[in-house]
A and B are shown apart, each in its own frame.
Chain A
Amino acid sequence: MEAVKQLVEKSLENDLSAFEQLINIYQGRVYTLSYQLTNSYADAQDLTQEVFIKAYYSLKGFRNEADFGTWLHKITVNMWLNTKRKRSIQNAVSLNEPISDGENEVYRDLAATDGDPEQSLESKEFNGLVRRALGELSREYQAVVILREIEGYSYEEMSLIMNCSLGTVKSRLNRARQVLKQQVIKLAKESGYVIPGTRKNRVTEEV
């Protein structure tokens, strides 16, 4: 952590090699969040670049009150919330959608599930469905869900990242969860999926 602080101080003195080291340390975190937000490798790369450019010029605003990575995530989220969607959703590559090689469909090996292969496939299909449903939420809702459920941030950290009160974070997250659940059920119904864990209860209710 001390090393990071020193690198930040050197970067403030226009030491680009120090800033490059900071990029090397944090690019994975920023790129991963960018990818979760944009659901597209190309957009994630653009966003990550812009985040570091902006971070470099805003370094004076970093006062070590937060982890540097969290500060970068704050820039990432705010930049994404305010940037026009460049590519259509059809062009986006979903994290959990199958990749077709012409004959077969394969899945990215993301869910480290073990046991019943059928259950594993079902789980992956369901994850893809959740990803699609998530992409259909408003950006504010997507952001809170991703920060909390995927990135695992605390409410306090989210409050810092999103520049809003704890109460706002909680209420926005609750609304986002509710809307996401409804969207998942709607998509599940349309595609005849059964939500894992509810095998006995066909999805015929709700929405």
Chain B
Amino acid sequence: MNCRKAKSILVSDEPLFNEHRALSDHLAVCSGCAMEAEHFNAISKALREMNSPVKAPDGLAAQVINRLRSESANQGEVYSPAFNLRFRWSQAWKRSLAAAAAAVLLIGGSMGVAARLGVLNISGNPAFIVKHTPPLNQPAVEVPVQVPETQIASPTGNESNQPQQNNLPESGQTTDPESGQTTDNVSAKQATAEQKTPHQAAVQQTTTEPRVFLNVPRSIECILWKIKVTDINSATDRVLAWAKTGGISYSVENEIPLDDGRTIDIFRFGAPKASADEFSDFISGLGDTLEKDRNIRDVTGEFSGKLERYHSLLAQKDNSNGQQTKQLDAEIKAVESELTLMDKETQEQVVFIVWLQN
């Protein structure tokens, strides 16, 4: 055995059975390798001696459980493993909700995103319809939301089965904001919803190379705005048209039909910071502000967790083949899209959750 072979065995801790004798013979005559063997042995021994259990601090379990309990008790906070965003809604907003059911409606905005990504089981809660959810490059996952037939029978529900319209209206050709005609409004809404904003286009780009995301402190500025409008369809059209021309991305719309015939529409917009004030002015002109709340949410941990998942999937892909690689690719793209969205929202945008009701 030569020194090179001996050193390669020493550095690995698994010498083959038939290598023991040859190695011993070599170490007996080679002082350099013998010293190297002693170094490795001494280091291994030192490391093994570090294997003493360290007692966890008292109360650790209680702390974890308290955190989990407070998160689940706080109806206004959603932990969404898919989107990894937790929005804490102010007491003022919660107070404005007459019943617990309404609280579920309130969180529909972010739940809709999670639902579309197939992770939140809200099938037992037919309280809201995920009406328009522009695709986030997630072909493999269908919206798992189960909507009762009575609600699917709404015009919007029916339209979801119609062929997509490719000739999107130009900004100057949008439906008359004041017309209030349902069919026009719906078609304009659908067209706008299907249009890819620059932001979504960026999200949808399929990258062949892994993207680099910075694991830096991150927070999302979120403005929650509840507005009473006279004509909800008209207001919806106006806000979507404004978003389209103003370069504001649009990620989810939930339509919530109420028992008394009224409707609530919730939107989630990502406005570039430079346009946020202008967008605020526009929204305030839509109707009477019932509630408004600004919230800055630290999502460093959530982003970090998502990034961890991303790297883990990339590592798995390196060691996969065939069908498994395809599945991993789809998952990687989905996680990458979410990271891209979070990256954008934390660095360049203000998120507006706009609640319109008539």
Chain A interfacial positions (CB closer than 8 Å to B): 14, 16, 19-20, 23-24, 27-32, 35-36, 41, 44-45, 48-50, 52-54, 56-58, 78-79, 81-84, 95-96, 110-113, 123, 126-127, 130-131, 134, 145, 148-152, 162-165, 168, 170, 173-174, 177-178, 180-181, 184-185, 195-198, 201, 205-206
What are 9 A-B contacts defined by CB distance under 8 Å? Answer: A23-B65, A31-B55, A35-B54, A163-B315, A164-B318, A177-B11, A181-B36, A197-B42, A198-B35
The docked-state distance in angstroms from the alpha carbon of A174 to that of B7 is 11
B187 close to chain A: CB less than 8 A: no
Chain B contact residues, majority secondary structure: helix
Q: Which residue on A lies nearest to B308, using beta carbons?
A: A82
**In whole Å, how far is A93's beta carbon from the nearest beta carbon of chain B?**
11
Q: A45-B57, A198-B39 are in contact. Are A81 and B49 (CB under 8 A)?
A: no
Q: Determine the distance from Cα of A80 to Cα of B138 in the docked complex, in whole angstroms.
A: 29
Cβ–Cβ < 8 Å partners of B307 in chain A: 82
Chain B positions within 8 Å of A, measured between CB atoms, are 11-13, 31-32, 35-36, 38-57, 60-65, 67-69, 72, 79, 81, 215-216, 301, 304-305, 307-308, 311-312, 315-316, 318-319
Interchain nearest-CB distance for A25 vs B (Å): 10
B61 touches A23 (CB 8 A): yes
**B50 A131 Cβ-Cβ under 8 A:** yes
A residues within 8 A CB of B301? 50
Distance in angstroms from A108 CB to nearest chain B CB is: 9
Are B56 and A14 neighbours in the complex by a CB distance under 8 Å? Answer: no
Inter-chain CA distance A134–B307, complex, in Å, is 25
Question: A184–B308 contact, CB under 8 A?
Answer: no
Contacts of A198 in B (CB 8 A): 35, 38-39, 42
Do A84 and B51 form a contact, CB below 8 Å, given A23-B61, A181-B43? no
Partner of A150 from B50, B61, B68 at Cβ < 8 Å: B50
Known: A20-B62, A44-B54. 10 other contacts (CB 8 A): A16-B72, A28-B54, A31-B57, A32-B52, A48-B56, A79-B308, A127-B50, A163-B315, A177-B12, A206-B36
Residues of A within 8 A of B57 (CB): 31, 41, 45
Cross-chain contact B39 with A184 (CB below 8 angstroms): yes
The interface residues of chain A lying within 8 Å CB-to-CB of B68 are: 16, 19, 53, 56
